[in-house]
Amino acid sequence: MMLLIKWLLLILCLAAICFYCYSIYAAIAFFTQTRTIDPAFLPQVTILKPICGVDRDAEDNLASCCQQDYPEYQIIFAVRDREDPAIAIIDKLIQQFPNVDIQLVVSDRIIGANLKVSNLANALTAAKYEILLIADSDIRVGKDYLQRIVQPLQDEKVGVVTCLYRSLAQGWVTSFEALGIATSFHPSVLVSNQLENIKFAFGSTIIIRKQALEAIGGFNAIADYLADDFQLGYLPAQVGYRVFLSNYIVDHILDESTLADVIQRQIRWLRCIWVSRPWGYLGLVFTYGTVTSLLLLLVTKGSIIGWTGLVITWVLRLIMAWVIGVRVFNDPVTKQYFWLIPFRDLIHFAIWCYGFFGKAITWRGQQLQLIQGGKLVLQENMD
């Protein structure tokens, strides 16, 4: 039995080494591709911004969408509560940018368990254009954002465009979370995109043709899903549209969080993956090389094979994190907390193991239950 465990751990170490090497290749291949920009391709765009409360640097984040070097676009801010403090910021932006078509929609209409999707559905009622851009309220962009992000739509087969993000954090807790995004999450995405074009999207930016949204049943089709951004890429892909990963990197402005908040957030997303894509969740074990190599060292009682596996795995893990987090994404958190990566992997592995047990999550103060496919159900409805 012990021999079997040793072989299993050795195989997991080798798999992780292959993953780290391929991640580096995938990142370099992706970001060195030549992407031409046609200055004449400037389709009209409606930006949908779901708002709930005031994020860190909220005014700067929202203002960045109002400062685009782009001829014709519309911004719709959607708020559920008339007492939401973000309304004052939006009113200020309307005054500050009179030449930009900005609208505020305030509506508490609910179409499902995911209130963000209800916000988007309410905003859609005021949309003028056929190309929709959805971006979370904590995203900050450059003035060339719109011009660059729409370019893949020149191909009529592309129904959805999404992009990666650089998380800017304050405090060690949120920095710890951002470290995982830059050095674990993004490498996985780049590997997936290199093996076959991704079939999902991220809340950092989702451009979707209105006809693609209608083809999947509109926002009602995703109103009960936790990972609404994932579904806005996955469902169009199922009906024949291509999902395109842009090489534009936006800034994700993370609010300060407590350690409990970060752990709850990680549990929430990991359990969502477990119920929606169980094989993908199980496959994450091949990315925890720092953990499996340490276990190999322990079960082989400090053997040469154990030490060799540990050194090679950890060195390649750190090289991969440096290439992608620092050289590609220019991520300040990775630069500052690079030395914490193995410790971060150990903590995340423990949360990954915990994610197998139970389907309950806490989200925005609500006790919810995840059911098959990643749908949300109120806990009280499960009793």
Residues that are catalytic: 229
Amino acid at 20: Y
Going by C-beta distance under 8 Å and a sequence separation of 6 or more, which residues neighbour residue 306?
Answer: 296, 297, 298, 299, 300
Are 306 and 300 contacting, i.e. CB atoms less than 8 angstroms apart? yes
Are 162 and 236 contacting, i.e. CB atoms less than 8 angstroms apart? no
Cα–Cα dist 120/84, whole Å = 16
What distances in angstroms separate CA 80 from CA 60, 93, 132, 335, one per listed residue?
21, 18, 20, 38
- Among 229, 72, 62, 51, which Cα is nearest to 123's? 51
140-144 contacts, C-beta under 8 A, 24 or more apart? 140/57, 140/60, 140/61, 140/64, 140/250, 140/251, 140/253, 141/64, 141/65, 141/250, 141/251, 142/64, 143/67, 143/68, 143/69, 144/69
Are 23 and 191 contacting, i.e. CB atoms less than 8 angstroms apart? yes
Q: Would you tell me how many other CB atoms lie within 10 Å of the CB of residue 282?
A: 12
End-to-end CA distance of the chain: 42
Cα–Cα dist 212/216, whole Å = 7
